[in-house]
A and B are shown apart, each in its own frame.
Chain A
């Protein structure tokens, strides 16, 4: 860890007479960085290590250190409860990512057509991002409640046969989580795409237009391919949000009806803290971590390497 003091004058003086002040100066930057680094090494990476270790032990209500090998993972993969959580996450995250991307791209392209009132519409699309998932969950839970929400209103307006009870229906409840989550995040994806669209060179588009390209062709052949980085960022951000989603499920459905909307994040919490199966809880957290690692590490690696 040698410091590159880029100023030759300082380096020379350090070489000829390494007085105390110069030496101290060269250490300060590392000293300043070290508390943050120490915190992260201990409380992030140390804790990850500890959780991984716990996942191989017979911990129940409290951590215990009896080694049981892969037994927790074995049990975990046999649990119907975990199966439900994983398949819900697959359904939820794929629909969430697809809808957010499609709606975000659509709104961005539409807004980019010199729309009057763009400065009013944009904040309306984006404000849900400022809300807590608990607030979003509370709002949608009630809005979708057949007894007093949308269904009830439609009945009052004379559409007697209107039925929308997804939130109470085991087979459809997970889609209400998708709906609320898309509501919350699609504006953000719109903002990312809009920034990408505004960065595209107009001259190239004009040239293509002179060659007789239609608007649709312009978007399909030239503009959308140039948004590749925005697509990638959106995918990474959304998938990481999806895997971590906990609050929204708790506030909207509480994992129910039954276990119909259980996801790995709620599974981990209930196994660890209410069912006192800490070993299994830890092993489910490890699986979640591995999924995130598989997505984030390549992304961060390529992003940070490019910057150099």
Chain B
């Protein structure tokens, strides 16, 4: 690391550096505060929230709000807590992520290694589908899901999420396979390997990182989706985000802030966990989402 300082052109003086650290720390505080305060207040009894200071640490620690948010809180009409909705989200996210990633990998493979006329245009059409305001498909989608009996069901939501995730997963794999040496594929072709054999033996073994990126991106997006969940799900298939919104905005009774906070953190936990464990890939996915690979 001794050479590091000689290898950067910009140098800063002591006063400037103090200023830099100050600003950076202030922003860290800004980002941490709302969520951090929510975490602290989720383990306080309600009286300490309504009567006390939100910045203060709890005088009495209680995990009752967490238990209540998970298992007994009133959501809609049933006092079920968020638990069933958490599983609804899992049942929706896992197949949707798996299917869209597999299709994306195959599409990326075709679009880079089996080029055909108008392939870039085809890809452009697929990609644009991710960026449309989903309001434009809400009405027909509701009709079609209704007519096919998939309305209000988890398979219906999986279907919708696969369609609108395809563009991104295809984008990831396309960018990744683009730089993969085509000579290897030609060589395998000469040896008589077919389409799927080449994919399975040559591309797939080196696709680890991009699979992680795609899975994380899809997982975060689908888990966090609210619009489709609110539009197409019924009580038996409502995802976590919709249930959380119902919990927080329910108008009857005393507002149980601590339960709301615990619920919000429960809803955030899976994606936060993914972010903490695989942050590097998460950032890569975000970057690739800006189209350039």
Contacts and interface: CB of A to CB of B under 8 A. Distances in A.
Interface of A: 1-7, 9-10, 25, 28-30, 32-33, 35-37, 39-40, 43-48, 50-51, 54, 63, 103, 106-107, 110-115, 121, 123-136, 138-143, 148-149, 152-153, 156-157, 183, 187-188, 191-192, 195, 202, 205-206, 208-209, 215, 218, 229, 233-234, 236-237, 240, 243-244, 246-247, 250-251, 254, 264-265, 268-269, 272-273, 278, 281-282, 284-286, 288-289, 292, 296-297, 299-301, 303-305, 307-308
A28 B290 CA distance: 30
B63 interface: no
B128 A113 contact: no
A130 B268 CA distance: 8
Interface string B28-41: 10111111011000
Contact of A289 (B21, B132, B178, B275): B132
A250 B54 contact: no
B286 A132 contact: no
A32 B106 contact: yes
Contacts of B290: 192, 233-234, 236-237
A289 B132 CA distance: 6
Interface string B217-229: 0001001111100
Contact of A304 (B30, B107, B123, B274): B123
Contacts of A308: 120
A164 B140 CA distance: 43
A151 to B, nearest CB: 11
B122 interface: yes
Q: Identify which of A7, A205, A243 gathers the most chain B CB atoms within 10 Å of its CB.
A: A7
B204 to A, nearest CB: 14
A47 B133 CA distance: 12
Contacts, number: 301
Contact of A7 (B141, B189, B220): B189
A202 B189 CA distance: 44
Contacts of B271: 130-132
Q: Identify which of B11, B106, B133, B290 gathers the most chain A CB atoms within 10 Å of its CB.
A: B133
B107 A33 contact: yes
B133 A289 contact: yes
Nearest to A267: B135
Chain B, interface residues (CB within 8 Å), range:
35 or more
A133 B274 contact: no
18 contacts: A6-B182, A6-B186, A7-B189, A33-B111, A43-B137, A110-B24, A115-B20, A129-B286, A132-B224, A133-B226, A143-B38, A152-B53, A191-B286, A208-B9, A289-B136, A292-B132, A300-B127, A301-B124
B55 A121 contact: no
A131 B34 contact: no
Contact of B9 (A123, A202, A304): A202
Given A286-B136, A289-B133, A149 B125 contact: no
B129 interface: yes
Contacts of B170: 36
B192 to A, nearest CB: 9
Contacts of B114: 3, 29
B88 interface: no
B90 interface: no
B292 A229 contact: yes
A42 to B, nearest CB: 9
Given A110-B20, A132-B267, 10 more contacts: A25-B195, A33-B110, A47-B141, A110-B24, A135-B244, A143-B34, A215-B12, A265-B133, A285-B135, A304-B123
Interface string B263-287: 0110110011011100100110011
A169 B173 CA distance: 47
A30 B115 CA distance: 10
Given A44-B129, A143-B33, A36 B135 contact: no
B77 to A, nearest CB: 19
Contacts of A39: 162-163, 166
B110 A131 contact: no
A103 B28 CA distance: 12
A273 B12 CA distance: 57
B180 to A, nearest CB: 14
B136 A134 contact: no
A130 B220 contact: yes
Contacts of A32: 106-107, 109-110, 195
A117 to B, nearest CB: 8
Closest 6 pairs between A and B when the two form their complex, measured CB to CB: A205-B9, A132-B224, A29-B114, A233-B290, A130-B275, A247-B226
Nearest to A139: B34
B72 interface: no
B245 A134 contact: yes
A157 B268 CA distance: 31
Contact of B283 (A110, A191, A289): A191
Nearest to B122: A37
B182 to A, nearest CB: 7
A282 to B, nearest CB: 6
